[in-house]
Amino acid sequence: MMNESLQLLKQPEWRLIDQSSLGPMFSALQSFAADDTLCTSVGAGSSPPTARAWVHHSTVVLGIQDTKLPFLQEGIKLLQEAGLQVIVRNSGGLAVALDEGVLNLSLIFPDTEKGIDIDRGYEAMYLLIKQMFSGFSARIDAYEIVGSYCPGSYDLSIGGKKFAGISQRRIRRGVAVQIYLCVSGSGSERASLIRRFYETAKKTEITKWDYPDIQPEVMASLSELLGRKLTVQDVMLRFLNTLHQHAGRLYASSLHGEEVDLYQGYLQRVTERNEKALTAES
């Protein structure tokens, strides 16, 4: 599996779209539309494999499952009163906290004739992150961290404390493997925020869906875990250097040509879906 994952990372060309410093006005909805656009473009062969980096300020991204919470509107109000924007993403998973200390990365591949196995996509991202931080002695593990928010089998942790989660989205023969990396700040404070959301939106109701019983102490940032004050810019540099090792050519880009029109269509779609999900009766 590791060799196959390495082959995914090794590409003749990697295109890079860096949206990590666009500031507070850059909405998570714009990110979802960008990845869907790139999945379509890469899947059609009109773009090479593409890496995208992005940061969102003061945002909580909910999963579709979160919209089924019995007291959802109370939970949303709690977050909004704390000055947070609440968005529902167009893929699976559960609530995640994003802020200026969290770097998000997407790797977008074409889903070839053979098809990219789901685990292979996860392994490629895991391998990339391990290489980015290979200069540190800390071991990075991938397994579900019980008590974390948005738990999954590819939670990345050091010493049992989660600092990142990986997800995937597949659309139009493109595969986007996405990760959020808690670079700086307090991982447990982010977890406490999401815990309060669930306590408010679920209360003691028995629900059809399972929601995490969040234990804030199992989450931390890379700065906390590595004992070094890292910034998003530091980690971006590590990302670029590591990706460059795997690329025949790495070049910076933005959405262009037909992608701009595609993006407008996807943005309208995710915005409408988001509004519908946030106002739906649970």
Active-site positions?
A: 150
Cβ count within 10 A of residue 144: 14
Tokens representing 150 are 């948005």
Specify the DSSP element, H or E, that contains 86: strand 85-88
Distance CA 124, CA 3 (A): 9
Dig out the tokens for 77 from the structure: 């109000």
Please list the residues that pair with 61 across neighbouring strands.
87, 96
Q: Which two tokens stand for residue 176?
A: 């986007």
**Phi-psi map region of 29: left, alpha, beta (phi>0 left; psi -120 to 50 alpha):** alpha
**C-alpha–C-alpha distance, residues 52 and 232, integer Å:** 14
Q: Reduced to 3 states, what is the DSSP secondary structure of residue 246?
A: helix
Rounded Cα gap, residues 281 and 204, in angstroms? 18
DSSP state of 219: B
**147 SS3 class:** coil
Q: For residue 216, give the DSSP letter.
A: G
Alpha-helical regions (H) of 82-162? 118-132
Pairing of strands 247-252, 11-19: parallel
